[in-house]
Chains A and B, each alone.
Chain A
């Protein structure tokens, strides 16, 4: 029966040679190579649950009075968008499950990309000839952040509405062009005209998913064309031959298992752990706000940046060159993404290494890269943690203002310390291996000498 199916395929598509190559394509075997797949499967869950949600969401800021089943909101004015999401969460069967799974999937999607990025960075997988793949990957991370931000801002609840105002202000703070750009994007100053919501909606459900999908396809295709990198696991591993598990039968059940495992974890979270209970927040109005409002975790580094900056605008005469939000909200991510994009080129320039690399390095094998990477990560992480210092104040009773003062120094000093420590650790680990290797050889010699 299998033979009949394959024959059908071959006669209709002439693709059996390609199919054979694909089925025997080799996947080097290491658990950290699966992190990118986790991101891919989270993306699939996002698309599937997202399509479901599009059938219920209303992308309109037209104000309505709520008369639904959720009592604490009855009689209140809110946008149709918010009302539709309250409806999904309270009146559509399985609606809340799908909505929460979608949001958990977004959180996990970005987390998996970040972990995957760490793996790529610290093993040097981005080196020639895979620089283009890396470039596409960093772009997808940026798109994922924007996509997720738009996703939860579309709900027009109190928390995300505040976040949208802040995003607008960061856009406004871009020197020279900020106000014009934002007026263009929002169709006027905040809160924008009626056209803003359909704009965000189409970007979120059509344009960005297509963009990410196309880039993802290119990303995976390029990996397949150049074949996957590998660790040096035996003395015979070389730059010229890839050792791995073929797609069929070996890799397929593992990848499928990871797919269903990821989906299972996401649906379990979607049903058991509440996320973004927008019915509790109430609808957004520009003249309302609440304490304890935070962006989703992957934008937490930006709220940290915004909160840490001392209060000043850069002014030349009467011209406001750099309003304050620029530093924490735009300059900071610009530096971080700039670092990510430029790093392969910087490394090539500094080390002079322009060779092709199919073999990966362990983090300890390249102490300088590891130290710099750890330092950058520590910087971003510290700013991120600083961003939640008000909740730390509530939780641990440490004055918010004092924390900010401490973080202002810590975010620049600690990464240097951490980088230095990481460098030392790498050197020590390698030295330890060298000693162990020498000892092993000496003992072998000794045994030989005895006989």
Chain B
């Protein structure tokens, strides 16, 4: 009975707080943190927020367990987010109203410690007094340290072919290789219609090998009277079918836009466009850049049509494929 009464009183006191503070005058005088009156309103608010924090946190656990709930991710985020924000609010109210925010002053640390500086300098200088050929030592240590450091980083060269640029210069295309679509079916010349664009790969390449920048080409067909290929690209087309590298010469994105007018007189000319920075390549004149930041025309793959009507490569590209590097104009992809 007595115990129950005690428990009830304790609970009430816990909930309501103590209104009378114990006076300890001697302790007051030597306090570090100054005294300020209590704020029961703020206390209750903080307690309520802490309680809410707990409710939301439990809510998170419950939502996690019941994954049949719709908008699961949203509920999870809302519960844990609100829980954290309630805790944040509680702490901020504690900061503003329930603890003392003192504004104290203390000196900045000294700018320098000249005495200690001198001691340290002297210590280092004097400890080297036994060495007579200081310069040589410095040289020796420098050489030893430097070369050892160099040796330590040398294995990093194995990361990749730092001195080999030959890997930039090849493509998987060879003379006579057939052009196939995404499903490995070879393209016939008659498959290629005007006003459409097709993606082609060398026959025989695995799915992984197709990711090489030199592999994909885009095929378009223009009426012969619209072709304006420069002399160096004469004969690269196959009855008006043109094959360009699908990789933009600016920054390596796939060229997946084909602008082709339905009605020539008042619509833009046929062009291949890159969606990254909108480099625009004229398809009728060998891939010259008509807009955008590309610095090099789109490389062309020469085509022939074999006896059975299939499209085949007649050689390798007329220039390096993909984004530019220092050797881009020096070499051509090997035949």
| Chain A interfacial positions (CB closer than 8 Å to B) | 24, 26, 29, 63, 77, 93-94, 96-97, 100-101, 129, 162, 165-166, 168-170, 172-173, 175-176, 178-191, 193, 199, 225-227, 239-246, 249-250, 253-254, 256-261, 263-272, 285-293, 303, 306-313, 315, 318-321, 323-325, 328-329, 356, 358, 390, 400-401
Cα distance A165–B330 when bound, in Å?
A: 22
On whether the beta carbons of A190 and B101 are closer than 8 Å, the reply is: no
Q: Closest approach, in angstroms, between the C-beta of A236 and any C-beta of chain B?
A: 9
Check if B238 is an interface residue, CB within 8 A of chain A: no
On whether the beta carbons of B77 and A267 are closer than 8 Å, the reply is: yes
Q: How large is the interface on B (under 10, 10 to 19, 20 to 34, 35 or more residues)?
A: 35 or more
Known: A249-B99, A323-B295. A183 touches B165 (CB 8 A): yes
In the A-B complex, the 3 residue pairs with the closest CB atoms: A271-B77, A268-B81, A323-B324
Q: Closest approach, in angstroms, between the C-beta of B171 and any C-beta of chain A?
A: 11
User: Which residues of B sit under 8 angstroms from A96, Cβ to Cβ?
Assistant: 73
Known: A185-B159, A311-B279, A358-B108. A328 touches B293 (CB 8 A): yes
Check if B52 is an interface residue, CB within 8 A of chain A: no
Cα distance A288–B211 when bound, in Å?
A: 10
Question: What are 13 A-B pairs at a CB distance below 8 A?
Answer: A77-B207, A96-B73, A162-B276, A166-B253, A189-B167, A226-B109, A253-B94, A259-B88, A264-B88, A267-B80, A268-B77, A311-B292, A390-B278
Known: A29-B103, A313-B296. A271 touches B92 (CB 8 A): no
On whether the beta carbons of A254 and B162 are closer than 8 Å, the reply is: no
Q: Closest approach, in angstroms, between the C-beta of A302 and any C-beta of chain B?
A: 11
Cα distance A40–B199 when bound, in Å?
A: 48
User: Which residues of B sit under 8 angstroms from A260, Cβ to Cβ?
Assistant: 84-85, 87-88, 91
Check if B54 is an interface residue, CB within 8 A of chain A: no
CB closest chain-B residue, reference A99 = B73
Cα distance A285–B254 when bound, in Å?
A: 9
Check if B129 is an interface residue, CB within 8 A of chain A: no
User: Which residues of A sit under 8 angstroms from B274, Cβ to Cβ?
Assistant: 289
Check if B256 is an interface residue, CB within 8 A of chain A: yes
Cα distance A188–B208 when bound, in Å?
A: 15
On whether the beta carbons of B164 and A253 are closer than 8 Å, the reply is: no
Choose one: B84, B105, B106, B330; the contact of A267 (CB below 8 Å).
B84
Cα distance A324–B207 when bound, in Å?
A: 31
Check if B37 is an interface residue, CB within 8 A of chain A: no
On whether the beta carbons of B73 and A271 are closer than 8 Å, the reply is: yes
User: Which residues of B sit under 8 angstroms from A287, Cβ to Cβ?
Assistant: 199, 201, 210-211, 215-216, 246-247, 254
The number of A-B residue pairs with CB atoms under 8 Å apart is 295
Which residues of B103-154 have CB atoms within 8 Å of chain A's CB atoms? Answer: 103-109, 111
| Chain B interfacial positions (CB closer than 8 Å to A) | 33, 64, 67, 72-78, 80-85, 87-92, 94-95, 99-109, 111, 157, 159-165, 167-168, 199, 201, 207-208, 210-213, 215-216, 246-247, 250-257, 274-279, 289, 291-296, 322-330
User: Which residues of B sit under 8 angstroms from A129, Cβ to Cβ?
Assistant: 111
Choose one: A24, A253, A271; the contact of B74 (CB below 8 Å).
A271
Choose one: A250, A265, A270; the contact of B100 (CB below 8 Å).
A250
On whether the beta carbons of B99 and A319 are closer than 8 Å, the reply is: no
Known: A29-B103, A253-B99, A289-B253. A261 touches B77 (CB 8 A): no
On whether the beta carbons of A242 and B323 are closer than 8 Å, the reply is: no
Cα distance A390–B244 when bound, in Å?
A: 25
Known: A265-B81, A325-B251. A183 touches B277 (CB 8 A): no
Cα distance A191–B279 when bound, in Å?
A: 21
On whether the beta carbons of A246 and B104 are closer than 8 Å, the reply is: yes
Known: A257-B92, A287-B199. A323 touches B108 (CB 8 A): no
Cα distance A242–B104 when bound, in Å?
A: 8
Choose one: A29, A239, A257, A269; the contact of B91 (CB below 8 Å).
A257
Known: A324-B295, A358-B108. A169 touches B165 (CB 8 A): no
CB closest chain-A residue, reference B330 = A318
> Given known contacts A179-B326, A267-B77, A319-B329, what 14 new A-B pairs fall within 8 Å (CB)?
A168-B252, A170-B251, A188-B161, A188-B167, A191-B211, A191-B213, A257-B91, A285-B254, A286-B254, A287-B199, A307-B277, A310-B293, A313-B296, A319-B326
Cα distance A390–B106 when bound, in Å?
A: 56
On whether the beta carbons of B106 and A286 are closer than 8 Å, the reply is: no
User: Which residues of B sit under 8 angstroms from A175, Cβ to Cβ?
Assistant: 326
